[in-house]
C-alpha cells in the first residue's frame, strides 16, 4: 500500500513512499546452491551454482532463492520487474548465504551488489562482505543503487568489511550502501530497512549514503556501527548529478535506526585525528528530510543538520523524537562550518529530542560544542520541546557561535544538570537562566532543574 507521510510541523506532505512489502505474484522460483551447476534447471533438487546465472534467467515475478554458503561473485540485476511482479533475490528461509568479495578485483567504482537502471527489485537476507582494495582512487561499495532505479527494496542484509585500505592522499573512499541519483530521472520509492552495516573502512565517504537526484525514500530500522566516518548521510552539492537542480536528495525519512561507535579518529581524515567529529546521522545539503526516532550514541557528533556546500542549503528538514547520548562532541549540530563556506541551514525544526551527556571532549577550537550547536548561517529554524541533560562536569546546553543567521526560535525546552548550567550566545557564556533568556530573546516557556550531585 501507499502510506502518505505528513510533516505536521511544516504543514504539508513530505512524499508518498511505497514502504510495504510488495504483493508478489511469483511466476517461477530458481534455487541456487554451492552444490549446484549452472547447467541445471534451478529446481530445489537441481539448483544453479551461481547467483548471476540465476538472475539472467529471471523474469518479472520470479524469485531467486539462495541456499547457505559462500558465493564469491559480483552481482547485478540485468532486468526489471513490474508492478506487483518484483524480481526477488533472497536467502532461503533460515539459511545464511554470503556474497563474498575476497580476492575479487576492483576498477574505478564497483560494488559487490549493483542495482542500476532497473525497477521493482527486492534484495533480502544476505551477508555482503570482505570486498577490499589497496588500489588508490577506486571507490569500493558493498551495495550500489544508481541509474534512475525505482521501487527498490534492500532488506535484512549484513554488510561488513567493505574496505578501501589506502592512505588519505590516495583517495580512501567506500560505502556499505550507496544510493546515487546520477541521471535526469529521479530515483523514487527506495526502501532500505533492517540491515546491519559494520566494520567498514570508508575513508572520506560514509557507511550508508543517499546522494544526488533521489526523490522519495525511507531508511529505517537499520543498525550501523564500528565505522570510521559518517553513519548515514542524505546529501547534496557533491557532484553526484551534473545538473544542479537534481544534485540533492529530497523528500525522505530516516527513522528508527541505531547508529553507534562511529569513530573518526580511526580513519584517515586529518581533522578527526584529535577531535572525533564523525557524525552519526547527517543531512548535508538535502531538503525536506524527516529524521525521527533514531538512537545515536558513542559517536563523534550525534545528528547534523548542516550544509558544507554553497548553493545547497539544508532546508525544511525535521529532526524529532531522537535519543542522542554519549557522543564525543555535540548532540545535534546546525548550520554551516565556521571559516569553511557560506553554506546554511534554513527552515528546519528540532523538536522533542532527548540529548543526554554528550560533549565528552573539547571541539576543534578547544571549546565545548554544546548539546545543541548553532554555527554559521542558521536562519528561520526552530528548537522546541527538547529535553537536554547536560554532563555536569563539562557541558553547554545550547551554543550559538556567531551573530550570523536570524529568526531562530528557541522555546519550551527542558534543561537538567547536576553541575553549573551553561549556555553560549554569540560567543558569550551565561550561567544564569534569566540572563540567558535575556541575551537570546528566546526560551520564555522553557524550564530548568538543577540538582545537587549525589555523593558516594
**Could you read off the pLDDT of 386-425 as tens digits, one per residue?**
999 999 988 999 999 999 999 999 999 999 999 999 999 9
Number of H helices, E strands in the chain: 2, 44
Q: Is residue 300 classed exposed, middle or buried when 0-12, 13-18 and 19+ CB atoms within 10 A define those classes?
A: buried
d(CA 437, CA 217): 39
List residues bridging with 244 in a β-sheet.
none
Segments in 150-209 forming alpha helices (H): none
Question: Distances in Å between the alpha carbon of 93 and those of 75, 124, 128, 179, 186?
Answer: 20, 11, 17, 27, 34
Do the beta carbons of residue 225 and residue 274 sit within 8 Å?
no
State the DSSP code for 254. Answer: E
Co-location of 103 and 213 in the same domain: yes
pLDDT of residue 272: 86
More confident residue, 15 or 26: 26
Do the beta carbons of residue 384 and residue 351 sit within 8 Å?
yes
Co-location of 356 and 438 in the same domain: yes
Condensed to tens digits (0 to 9), the pLDDT of residues 107-130 reads 999 999 999 999 999 999 999 999
CB atoms within 10 A of CB 67: 18
Condensed to tens digits (0 to 9), the pLDDT of residues 209-258 reads 999 999 999 999 999 999 999 999 999 999 899 999 999 999 999 999 99
CB atoms within 10 A of CB 253: 25
The answer, yes or no, to whether residue 286 has pLDDT greater than 50, is yes
Residue 455 lies in a domain: no
The pLDDT mean for the chain works out to 93
Q: Which of 140, 145, 159 lies closest to 114, judged by CA?
A: 145
Phi, psi of 51 (to 5 degrees): -65, -40
DSSP string computed for 69-126: EEE-S-EE--S--BTTB-EEEEEPTT--EEEE-TT----SEEEEEEEES-EEEEEES-
Co-location of 137 and 255 in the same domain: yes
Q: How confident is the model at residue 43 (pLDDT cuts 50, 70, 90)?
A: very high
Co-location of 265 and 136 in the same domain: yes
The answer, yes or no, to whether residue 149 has pLDDT greater than 50, is yes
The answer, yes or no, to whether residue 2 has pLDDT greater than 50, is no
Q: Which of 67, 129, 121 lies closest to 93, judged by CA?
A: 67
The answer, yes or no, to whether residue 6 has pLDDT greater than 70, is no
Do the beta carbons of residue 345 and residue 328 sit within 8 Å?
no
Co-location of 166 and 274 in the same domain: yes
pLDDT of residue 453: 72
d(CA 44, CA 214): 38
Residue 9 lies in a domain: no
Q: Which three cell numbers stand for residue 351?
A: 523538536
Co-location of 211 and 320 in the same domain: yes
In the predicted model, what is the mean pLDDT of residues 286-305?
98
In the predicted model, what is the mean pLDDT of residues 139-167?
97
Do the beta carbons of residue 181 and residue 148 sit within 8 Å?
yes
Co-location of 150 and 233 in the same domain: yes
Q: Which of 19, 141, 154, 120 lies closest to 74, judged by CA?
A: 141
Residue with cell 534451478: 42
Residue 124 lies in a domain: yes
Co-location of 154 and 77 in the same domain: no
The answer, yes or no, to whether residue 297 has pLDDT greater than 90, is yes
Q: How confident is the model at residue 21 (pLDDT cuts 50, 70, 90)?
A: low
The answer, yes or no, to whether residue 55 has pLDDT greater than 70, is yes
- Last residue of some domain: 87, 106, 139? 87
Condensed to tens digits (0 to 9), the pLDDT of residues 72-95 reads 999 999 999 999 999 999 999 999
Residue 47 lies in a domain: yes
Q: How confident is the model at residue 13 (pLDDT cuts 50, 70, 90)?
A: very low
Query: For residue 48, what are the domain limits?
Result: 23-87
Q: Which of 293, 284, 161 lies closest to 227, judged by CA?
A: 161
We report the CATH number of the domain holding residue 33 as: 3.30.1910
Number of domains making up the chain: 2
List residues bridging with 116 in a β-sheet.
146
Q: Is the dihedral of CA 222, 223, 226, 229 positive or negative?
A: positive
Co-location of 313 and 361 in the same domain: yes
Co-location of 292 and 392 in the same domain: yes
Q: How confident is the model at residue 38 (pLDDT cuts 50, 70, 90)?
A: very high
Residue 6 lies in a domain: no
pLDDT of residue 7: 36
Q: How confident is the model at residue 8 (pLDDT cuts 50, 70, 90)?
A: very low
In the predicted model, what is the mean pLDDT of residues 324-348?
94
Co-location of 273 and 353 in the same domain: yes
State the DSSP code for 403. Answer: S
Co-location of 53 and 165 in the same domain: no
- Last residue of some domain: 31, 58, 87? 87
Q: How confident is the model at residue 270 (pLDDT cuts 50, 70, 90)?
A: confident
Q: Is the dihedral of CA 403, 406, 407, 410 positive or negative?
A: negative
Condensed to tens digits (0 to 9), the pLDDT of residues 311-321 reads 999 999 999 99
Amino acid at each position: 500500500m501507499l502510506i502518505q507521510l505528513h510533516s505536521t510541523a511544516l504543514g504539508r506532505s513530505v512524499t508518498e513512499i511505497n514502504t510495504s512489502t510488495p504483493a508478489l505474484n511469483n511466476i517461477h522460483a530458481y534455487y541456487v546452491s554451492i552444490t549446484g551447476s549452472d547447467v541445471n534447471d534451478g529446481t530445489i533438487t537441481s539448483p544453479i551454482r551461481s547467483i548471476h546465472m540465476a538472475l539472467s534467467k529471471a523474469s518479472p515475478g520470479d524469485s531467486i532463492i539462495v541456499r547457505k554458503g559462500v558465493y564469491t561473485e559480483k552481482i547485478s540485476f540485468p532486468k526489471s520487474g513490474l508492478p506487483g511482479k518484483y524480481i526477488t533475490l533472497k536467502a532461503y528461509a533460515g539459511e545464511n548465504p554470503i556474497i563474498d568479495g575476497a580476492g575479487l578485483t576492483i576498477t574505478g567504482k564497483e560494488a559487490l551488489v549493483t542495482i542500476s537502471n532497473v525497477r521493482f527489485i527486492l534484495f533480502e537476507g544476505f551477508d555482503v562482505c570482505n570486498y577490499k582494495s589497496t588500489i588508490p582512487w577506486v571507490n569500493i561499495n558493498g551495495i550500489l543503487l544508481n541509474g534512475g532505479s525505482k521501487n527498490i527494496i534492500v532488506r535484512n542484509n549484513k554488510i561488513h568489511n567493505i574496505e578501501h585500505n589506502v592512505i588519505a592522499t590516495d583517495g580512501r573512499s567506500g560505502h556499505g550502501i550507496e544510493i546515487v541519483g546520477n541521471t535526469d530521472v529521479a530515483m523514487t520509492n527506495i526502501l532500505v530497512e533492517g540491515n546491519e552495516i559494520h566494520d567498514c573502512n570508508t575513508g572520506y565517504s560514509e557507511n550508508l549514503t543517499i546522494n544526488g537526484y533521489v526523490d522519495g525514500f525511507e531508511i529505517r530500522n537499520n543498525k550501523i556501527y564500528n565505522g570510521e566516518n559518517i553513519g548515514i548521510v542524505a546529501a547534496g552539492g557533491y557532484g553526484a548529478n551534473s545538473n544542479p537542480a537534481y544534485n540533492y536528495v529530497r523528500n525522505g525519512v530516516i527513522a528508527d535506526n541505531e547508529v553507534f561507535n562511529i569513530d573518526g579518529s580511526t580513519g584517515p581524515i586529518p581533522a578527526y585525528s584529535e577531535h572525533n567529529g564523525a557524525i552519526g546521522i547527517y543531512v548535508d545539503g538535502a531538503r525536506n528530510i524527516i529524521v525521527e526516532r533514531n538512537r545515536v550514541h558513542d559517536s563523534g557528533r550525534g545528528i547534523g543538520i548542516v550544509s558544507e556546500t554553497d548553493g545547497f542549503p539544508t532546508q525544511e528538514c525535521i529532526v524529532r523524537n531522537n535519543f542522542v547520548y554519549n557522543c564525543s562532541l555535540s548532540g545535534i549540530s546546525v548550520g554551516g562550518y565556521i571559516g569553511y563556506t557560506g553554506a546554511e541551514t534554513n527552515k528546519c525544526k528540532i523538536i522533542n529530542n532527548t540529548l543526554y551527556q554528550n560533549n565528552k571532549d573539547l571541539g576543534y577550537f578547544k571549546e565545548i560544542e554544546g548539546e545543541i550547536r548553532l554555527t554559521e548561517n542558521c536562519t528561520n529554524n526552530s528548537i522546541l520541546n527538547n529535553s537536554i541533560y547536560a554532563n555536569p562536569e563539562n557541558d553547554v546546553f545550547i551554543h550559538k557561535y556567531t551573530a550570523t543567521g536570524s529568526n531562530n526560535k528557541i522555546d519550551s525546552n527542558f534543561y537538567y544538570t547536576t553541575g553549573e548550567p551553561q549556555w553560549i550566545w554569540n560567543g558569550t557564556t551565561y550561567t544564569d537562566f534569566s540572563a540567558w533568556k535575556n541575551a537570546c530573546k528566546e526560551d520564555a516557556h522553557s524550564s530548568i532543574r538543577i540538582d545537587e550531585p549525589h555523593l558516594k
